[in-house]
Amino acid sequence: MGNLLKVLTREIENYPHFFLDFENAQPTEGEREVWNQVNSVLQDSESILTGLQAYKGAGQEIRDAIQNPNDFMLQERAWNSVCPLVIKLKKFYSFSLRLEEALQSLLECLTCPPLTPTQHLEREQALAKQFAEILHFTLRFDELKMRIPAIQNDFSYYRRTISRNRINNMNLDIENEVNNEMANRMSLFYAEATPMLKTLSTATTNFVTENKTLPLENTTDCLSTMASVCKVMLETPEYSSRFSSDDTLLFCMRVMVGVIILYDHVHPNGAFNKSSKIDMKGCIKVLKDQPADNVEGLLNALKFTTKHLNDESTPKNIRTMLHCFSYPER
């Protein structure tokens, strides 16, 4: 039956139910070309996260320079501290562009006719796994970024200093690496609370807009099916027990939240509407049943990065479940 098994015992409210082996899915020959392309991006994802996690910032050096504007040595020390950090921030931003391209390649494969999105997920498990890995990385990146206010402080100082030095006609070698246009794009990227998620949401929306002959449902059904896949695996011990690592459960949670957010941005009515193909009540309940430490960031992502949560059409009980969250005694 392969790694992706239809759950025949469940036909709840017509939501699709699958078990996808996120740990072991391997590409078929038909998937190999796209899989290799996406894998070349994903293999750099851990080093990006490690680099972000190690980001310390130049807060003290910047404060010293601002408080002592006439001390050339302190100005130089702050500038020399910030420049390598800006190169690192450029690396993260450039990776987001590669990730965007990889996502669009996967969407092309997983939504193209004549197969339905469900059939694609059944036959192309390795590509579905990569799609999930992109979402998993994205939420991990954004969770880390939200804890590092130094990023925006460092970049603001860099831009101010560049402008001042340009007025003074100073030749700045770093502008060969991060010119004004690049700095503008990076500034917009880091101004977002969840920049990687914003990148993926925009990429998915652009994919739908640019592929006018492809029905919108092909994309939204792909996303809603993936959300259902994750929900079932999390709530069904028979399936969750198959995973060799507890990390895979957290992986499923992140992926479920990621596809919900993408669906909410792409579908005109969003993910929370009664007509949504995502069982939002069930998805939130699944999160509620997890340890608080594992899901706090994911709940915040649902509350603050979705588009339609506060629409009048969102049922009150869904809003209440998200905003008045309590955990059972453990």
180, 224: one domain: no
Q: Select from 158, 192, 226 the last residue of a domain.
A: 192
61, 99: one domain: yes
13-71 pLDDT, tens digit each: 455 556 787 888 899 999 999 999 999 999 999 999 999 999 999 999 999 999 999 99
- What does the pLDDT read at residue 16? 53
The alpha carbon torsion through 99, 100, 102, 103 (nearest 10 deg) reads 110
180, 35: one domain: yes
Does 3 fall in a domain? no
Does 173 have pLDDT greater than 90? no
**DSSP code of 54?**
T
Does 3 have pLDDT greater than 80? no
Secondary structure element (H or E) that encloses residue 4, with its range:
strand 4-6
In angstroms, the CA 221 to CA 202 distance is 18
**Is the separation of the CB atoms in 294 and 314 below 8 Å?**
no
Does 87 fall in a domain? yes
Q: Catalogue the E-assigned strands of 17-63.
A: 18-20
Does 204 fall in a domain? no
Predicted structure pTM score: 0.87
* 72-111 vs 195-210: helix crossing angle, rounded to 10: 40
Does 2 fall in a domain? no
Task: For residue 243, give its domain range.
Answer: 215-329
Q: Select from 157, 192, 227 the last residue of a domain.
A: 192
The pLDDT confidence band at residue 168, using thresholds 50, 70 and 90, is low
Task: Find the mean pLDDT for residues 220-233.
Answer: 91
Place of tokens 């910030």: 82
Does 295 have pLDDT greater than 90? no
Task: Find the mean pLDDT for residues 299-309.
Answer: 87
Task: Find the mean pLDDT for residues 156-178.
Answer: 73
- What does the pLDDT read at residue 296? 85
In angstroms, the CA 246 to CA 293 distance is 14
133, 237: one domain: no
User: In terms of C-beta density within 10 A (0-12 exposed, 13-18 middle, 19 or more buried), how is residue 291 classed?
Assistant: exposed
185-205 pLDDT, tens digit each: 999 999 998 899 999 989 998
111, 23: one domain: yes
DSSP 188-225: HHHHSSSHHHHHHHHHHHHHHHH-TTS-HHHHHHHHHH
Does 200 fall in a domain? no
116-147 pLDDT, tens digit each: 888 888 889 999 999 999 999 999 999 899 99
255, 318: one domain: yes
The pLDDT confidence band at residue 319, using thresholds 50, 70 and 90, is confident
Distances (CA, A) of 45 to 26, 95, 96, 289, 303: 19, 8, 10, 29, 26
Cα-flanking dihedrals φ and ψ of residue 54, to 5°? -85, 0
* 125-146 vs 72-111: helix crossing angle, rounded to 10: 150
Number of domains comprising the chain? 2
Identity (one letter) of the amino acid at 257?
V
Does 174 fall in a domain? yes
Task: Find the mean pLDDT for residues 275-289.
Answer: 91
Q: Select from 159, 192, 225 the last residue of a domain.
A: 192
31, 175: one domain: yes
119, 253: one domain: no
The pLDDT confidence band at residue 206, using thresholds 50, 70 and 90, is very high
Q: Catalogue the E-assigned strands of 45-177.
A: none
167, 271: one domain: no
In angstroms, the CA 314 to CA 281 distance is 11
Structural tokens at position 301: 């992502």
47, 186: one domain: yes
144, 249: one domain: no
Nearest to 207 by CA among 195, 197, 216: 216
Identity (one letter) of the amino acid at 45?
S
Does 327 have pLDDT greater than 50? no
Does 202 fall in a domain? no
Task: Find the mean pLDDT for residues 237-254.
Answer: 87
**Is the separation of the CB atoms in 34 and 105 below 8 Å?**
yes
Nearest to 195 by CA among 148, 227, 250: 148
Nearest to 51 by CA among 19, 13, 84, 16: 84
175, 258: one domain: no
Does 66 fall in a domain? yes
